[in-house]
Amino acid sequence: MKTREELKKEIRALLAEKNALMLAHNYQRDEVQDTADLTGDSLALSQSAAGSGAKVIVFCGVHFMAESAAILAPEKTVILPRMDAGCPMADMITAEELMEEKGKRPGVPVVAYVNTTAAVKAESDICCTSANAVRVVDSMDSEKVYMVPDRNLAHYISRSSGKKLEWWNGFCPTHERLKPEDVLKAKGENPDAVFVCHPECRPDVVLLADHVCSTSGMYRFAKEIKANTIIVGTEMGILWRLKKENPEKKFVLASEKLICPNMKLITLEDVLESLREMKNIVTVPEDIRVRAKRALDKMLKVPRQW
Ligand code: 13P
Ligand code: SF4
């Protein structure tokens, strides 16, 4: 069996040979993040995919993220090393279900979290990520806004936005597992700690947070905050870079249950094999792609907030 270093070397050589860029989401396995050209949240990775001069994008994340890259950069070949790496929240609403909801709310714009399929994005007015959601919602030229699919993100946004929000009842099964009692236990064990969480967490967890932000927002928060101990309410993959960038600080995962099994599917062996064989290529039918791109492009004009 090849060592991590051997795999990394082979992957890096192949990436150079094929003019390919390897992107890894902040929740990927440590060794995948360590091998990638860039790590980031879903907003940063979409922007990097669209803006890069590479011919091939190896997207280490989940399906909707690779799909966003394929929507934004149709001239590039986008590889998702494991086609079965999906996002259960993205699969909680179909384009047909969204069309039915739109029919009940004529004239109300739809904001789709990027954690949606291309077909759902195509039926939406604009996309958002956890890094720009308040700004996106507030940018809408309407008093009412309908958000899909995450009820927790929508609930969180409804507290700070000036808009009247309604939303679909989807959720992230990983973040949903974090309960207030887990946070209170971690706080009891670390009385001087601050608690930061992702807006996909339940409202009763968000209420306990000192700060709520996207995954990349957490890197900034960890650097800027004076506290030495930080309780983290998001997927455990984030710890690798948090620890690397802040070796003097202590990071406590708010619950051992914060593992997204889909984000953990991609191994270095998968990256190497898919790139070598140029397989697992993500494509989007052109009629859907063009409409979905409109919603993503609109989002990319709104500045990041965290
Ligand atoms: P970010 O947009 O913060 O990267 O989060 C994406 C995601 O899937 C969170 O569960
Ligand atoms: Fe989807 Fe949740 Fe996994 Fe993010 S953490 S990819 S929202 S299931």
Give pLDDT, residue 46.
80
Please report the DSSP string for 202-259 in residue order.
-HHHHTT-SEE--HHHHHHHHHH---SEEEEES-GGGHHHHHHH-TTSEEEES-TT--
Give pLDDT, residue 105.
97
- Name, in order, each residue with C-beta under 8 angstroms of 103's C-beta and a sequence gap of 6 or more: none
Closest ligand 1 atom number to CA of residue 217: 3
Closest ligand 2 atom number to CA of residue 90: 1
> Measured in angstroms, how far is the CA atom of residue 160 from the centroid of ligand 1?
20
If you average pLDDT over residues 7-20, what whole number do you get? 98
Sheet holding 38-40, edge to edge: 38-40, 20-25, 56-60, 77-79
The tens digit of pLDDT for each residue in 261-274 reads: 999 999 999 999 99
What type of residue sits at position 306? Answer: W
Residue 200, ligand 1, Cβ within 6 A? yes
Query: Please, which pLDDT band fits residue 304 given cuts at 50, 70 and 90?
Result: confident
Q: Is the pLDDT of residue 93 over 90?
A: yes
Domains (range + CATH), the chain:
4-85+263-285 (3.40.50.10800), 90-171+288-300 (3.40.50.10800), 178-253 (3.40.50.10800)
Residue 45, ligand 1, Cβ within 6 A? no
User: Looking at residue 304, what DSSP letter applies?
Assistant: P
Q: Please, are residues 24 and 240 in contact by the beta-carbon 8 Å criterion?
A: no
**Residue whose CA is at the smallest distance from ligand 2 atom 2:** 172
* Nearest to 267, CA basis, from 259, 278, 275, 255: 275
The tens digit of pLDDT for each residue in 149-171 reads: 999 999 999 998 989 999 999 99
Helix (H) / strand (E) containing 104? helix 95-104
Give pLDDT, residue 30.
97
- Mean pLDDT of all residues in the chain? 96
Give pLDDT, residue 91.
97
Q: How many CB atoms lie within 10 A of CB 4?
A: 12
Tell me how far apart the alpha carbons of residues 107 and 23 are, in angstroms, rounded to a whole number: 37
Residue 130, ligand 1, Cβ within 6 A? yes
The tens digit of pLDDT for each residue in 129-152 reads: 999 999 999 999 999 999 999 999
Give pLDDT, residue 43.
78
Closest ligand 1 atom number to CA of residue 115: 8
If you average pLDDT over residues 192-221, what whole number do you get? 96
Residue 172, ligand 1, Cβ within 6 A? yes
> Measured in angstroms, how far is the CA atom of residue 13 from the centroid of ligand 2?
31
Tell me how far apart the alpha carbons of residues 261 and 32 are, in angstroms, rounded to a whole number: 15
Give pLDDT, residue 265.
98
Q: What percent of the chain has pLDDT over 90?
A: 92
State the number of CA atoms in the 13 A half-sphere of 107 facing the CB: 4
Give pLDDT, residue 306.
60
Q: What's the chain's Rg over C-alpha atoms?
A: 19
If you average pLDDT over residues 105-131, what whole number do you get? 97
Structure tokens at 233: 């309410």
> Measured in angstroms, how far is the CA atom of residue 41 from the centroid of ligand 1?
6
> Measured in angstroms, how far is the CA atom of residue 189 from the centroid of ligand 2?
27
Closest ligand 1 atom number to CA of residue 172: 10
Structure tokens at 142: 């309407």
